[in-house]
């Protein structure tokens, strides 16, 4: 998840999800002082000088908040005419928000300057099948995709169908009451775009079947969250609008939406473990992996993945794997299970030495109180991470550890905000990349796999990625193998760091670390040899030292020495 009233196209530091809705106000003392100084300036004969001094003392913020301070009537305004005001209004800059990525654009542009989506895009009705550049007049619009899903929970399971979907339209009621520009990235449109895509692809309704929705009970929630947390979410039903953190909103319907999301995840987990469904996809919101034992944060109210893990264990699963590929670290999930050896938590996320939200998830965070090694963090050191790095981490860290753990049930906290085009994640995973990761995880737990929607704020990216994942759950091939699946240098170093820490707890990682480290040393050695050869090419012949051109040699040698350093 990520967040907030964005002023740029991505968030890359610790202010990411908590930078919403900042409001500034001048200090009362500063305001009083500025007003009193302004009154003195009016009475003084040297008004211009004092006014200049006053403007110098005040900050720009104070000046903005107190526009009338400098409106003294010391100038002749008899030539002012009302039509001048109308001329100013004509130059007001008009803007519009992109339906796809929520970024603000100037009215003169028809396509978003960030994602390229047309301002009249029909992505909410056509899903990712909608053209990003036109209004899709050639497509027959699917009317009421969400409305068609209202009664889908009551349908009988489709014969030979193995994939269950968890969805309820009441989760769309969870929305920010105070509409801002740009709108909050965690918005109902996210589910609508995915639903439209699945409907157009004939996947749901069609090839998948829905389970009836129910609300999670307080008795089930208390196994994950504290009583104070549960009550704090429920009390939001009494207010039209409220906030847990500056970026985590609630309205009077949010508690219901959170209970439905958690209830659907719990029932999907039970159905898969018991064999009533082979696998499933929880099309739910609000998301959950930032919600900890005692706090709601990062757009999350209840931790859906944690609820599903405990429901799976109640249904008979002894060991549960939670794989979190959301671009943000699931600090809430880690907190809930950091002392639990029956739940293995693995997270791949942007970290950047704690500068990326929420700041947790360093490789050194491995679990505690006897559960060391059952928390595995793969913290990317930069943005722009794509398919190759994720595939490399899966092959060398995720799958070896997961195979050694041998889970009975696998949960994916599937945030799609690491997808290409996401305004918060700023990474580069493609739908094909997500499909391949799902295919690899499908080999674990006998195929008992539950994918739970977390973040993802580019509608085109989230709908195409979710559709690709569900196709794999239905048994379709993920497509061709990823080409040139060599990691970046930063990705390789991150994997080596994780292997060095985790191989103390997982025996299968030792040989992998030795092999990769030797390859890395060989690479560094060869690179150093190439640099030395470049330097030798610049060395002047030795006999110049004692010849008639010795002074020229020393001049050239110093010059070339500096040049060789710059090439290193």
Digit-coded pLDDT (tens) for 275-321: 999 999 999 999 999 999 999 999 999 999 999 999 999 999 999 99
pLDDT of residue 156: 53
Task: Please state the length of the chain.
Answer: 568
Residue 486 pLDDT class (50, 70, 90 cuts): confident
CA 465 to chain CA centroid, Å, is: 14
pLDDT of residue 31: 39
Question: What are the distances in angstroms from CA 503 to CA 146, 184, 337, 372, 493?
Answer: 47, 41, 20, 12, 15
Q: 214-271, pLDDT tens digit by residue?
A: 999 999 999 999 999 999 999 999 999 999 999 999 999 999 999 999 999 999 999 9
pLDDT of residue 488: 93
Candidates 146, 106, 104; CA nearest to 125 is: 146
pLDDT of residue 91: 57
Q: Is the pLDDT of residue 360 over 50?
A: yes
What would the two tokens of residue 44 be?
A: 């003084």
Does residue 290 have an active-site annotation?
yes
pLDDT of residue 541: 57
Residue 5 or residue 298, greater confidence: 298
Instruction: Give the lowest-confidence range in 56-70, 301-315, 331-345.
Output: 56-70
CB distance 402 to 361 below 8 Å: no
pLDDT of residue 147: 53
Q: Which of 290, 328, 329, 396 is catalytic?
A: 290
Residue 2 pLDDT class (50, 70, 90 cuts): low
Cβ burial of 308 (10 Å; 0-12, 13-18, 19+) is buried
pLDDT of residue 319: 98
Average pLDDT score over residue span 92-98: 87
pLDDT of residue 161: 58
pLDDT of residue 42: 38
pTM of the shown model: 0.78
Average pLDDT score over residue span 169-185: 93
Instruction: Give the lowest-confidence range in 47-51, 332-336, 502-506, 547-551.
Output: 47-51
> Where is 232: in which H helix or E strand?
helix 227-234
Q: Is the pLDDT of residue 387 over 90?
A: yes
Residue 154 pLDDT class (50, 70, 90 cuts): very low
Q: Is the pLDDT of residue 57 over 80?
A: no
pLDDT of residue 307: 98
Residue 526 pLDDT class (50, 70, 90 cuts): confident
Whole-number percent of the chain with pLDDT over 90: 66
Question: What are the distances in angstroms from CA 27 to CA 51, 63, 315?
Answer: 21, 13, 57
pLDDT of residue 139: 57
Candidates 346, 387, 356; CA nearest to 479 is: 387
Give the Cβ contact number of residue 209 at 10 Å.
Answer: 21
pLDDT of residue 38: 42
CB distance 288 to 262 below 8 Å: yes
CATH of domain 159-506: 3.40.800.20
pLDDT of residue 181: 85
Q: 389-448, pLDDT tens digit by residue?
A: 999 999 999 999 999 999 999 999 999 999 999 999 999 999 999 999 999 999 999 999
Domain layout of the chain by residue ranges: 90-121, 159-506, 513-556
DSSP labels, 17-65: TT-TT------HHHHHHHHHHHHHHHHSS-HHHHHHHHHHHS-HHHHHH
Average pLDDT score over residue span 320-338: 98
CB distance 1 to 290 below 8 Å: yes
pLDDT of residue 479: 83
Is the backbone of residue 260 left (phi > 0), alpha (psi -120 to 50) or beta?
alpha
What integer best gives the mean pLDDT of the chain? Answer: 82
């Amino acid at each position: 998840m990520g967040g907030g009233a964005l002023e740029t196209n991505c968030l890359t530091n610790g202010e990411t999800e908590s930078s919403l809705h900042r409001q500034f106000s001048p200090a009362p003392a500063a305001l009083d002082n500025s007003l009193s100084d302004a009154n003195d300036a009016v009475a003084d004969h040297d008004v211009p000088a004092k006014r200049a001094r006053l403007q110098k003392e005040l900050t720009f913020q104070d000046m903005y908040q107190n526009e009338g301070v400098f409106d003294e009537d010391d100038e002749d305004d008899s030539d002012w005419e009302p039509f001048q005001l109308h001329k100013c209004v004509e130059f007001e800059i008009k803007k519009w928000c992109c339906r796809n990525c929520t970024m603000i654009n100037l009215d003169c542009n028809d396509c978003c300057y960030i994602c390229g989506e047309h301002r009249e895009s029909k992505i909410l009705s056509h899903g990712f099948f909608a053209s990003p550049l036109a209004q899709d007049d050639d497509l027959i619009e699917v009317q009421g995709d969400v409305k068609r899903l209202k009664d889908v929970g009551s349908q009988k399971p489709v014969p030979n169908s193995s994939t269950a979907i968890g969805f309820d339209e009441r989760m769309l009621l969870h929305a920010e009451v105070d509409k801002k520009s740009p709108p909050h990235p965690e918005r109902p449109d996210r589910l609508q775009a995915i639903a439209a895509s699945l409907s157009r692809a004939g996947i749901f309704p069609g090839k998948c079947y829905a389970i009836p929705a129910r609300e999670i009970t307080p008795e089930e929630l208390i196994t994950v969250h504290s009583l104070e947390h549960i009550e704090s979410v429920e009390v939001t039903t009494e207010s039209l609008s409220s906030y847990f953190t500056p970026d985590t909103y609630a309205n009077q319907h949010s508690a219901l939406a959170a209970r439905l999301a958690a209830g659907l995840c719990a029932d999907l987990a039970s159905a898969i473990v018991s064999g009533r469904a082979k696998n499933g996809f929880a099309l739910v919101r609000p998301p959950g992996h930032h919600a900890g034992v005692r706090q709601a944060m990062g757009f999350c109210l209840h931790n859906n993945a944690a609820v599903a893990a405990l429901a799976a264990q109640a249904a008979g699963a002894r060991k549960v794997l939670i794989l979190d590929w959301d671009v943000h670290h699931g600090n809430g999930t880690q907190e809930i299970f950091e002392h639990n050896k029956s739940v293995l938590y693995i997270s791949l996320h942007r970290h950047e030495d704690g500068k990326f939200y929420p700041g947790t998830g360093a490789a050194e965070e491995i679990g505690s109180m006897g559960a060391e090694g059952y928390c595995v963090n793969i913290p990317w050191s930069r943005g722009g991470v794509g398919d190759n790095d994720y595939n490399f981490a899966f092959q060398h860290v995720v799958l070896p550890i997961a195979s050694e753990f041998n889970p009975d049930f696998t949960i994916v906290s599937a945030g799609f905000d690491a997808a290409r085009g996401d305004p918060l994640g700023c990474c580069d995973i493609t739908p094909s990349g997500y499909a391949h990761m799902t295919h690899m995880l499908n080999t674990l737990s006998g195929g008992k796999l539950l994918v739970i929607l977390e973040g993802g704020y580019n509608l085109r990216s989230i709908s195409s990625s979710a559709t690709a994942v569900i196709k794999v759950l239905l048994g379709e091939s993920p497509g061709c193998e990823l080409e040139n699946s060599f990691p970046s240098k930063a990705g390789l170093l991150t994997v080596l760091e994780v292997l060095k820490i985790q191989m103390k707890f997982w025996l299968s990682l030792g040989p992998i670390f030795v092999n990769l480290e030797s390859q890395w040393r060989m690479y560094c050695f060869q690179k150093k040899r190439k640099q030395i050869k470049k330097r030798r090419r610049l060395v002047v012949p030795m006999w110049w030292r004692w010849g008639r051109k010795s002074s020229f040699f020393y001049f050239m040698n110093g010059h070339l020495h500096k040049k060789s350093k710059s090439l290193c």
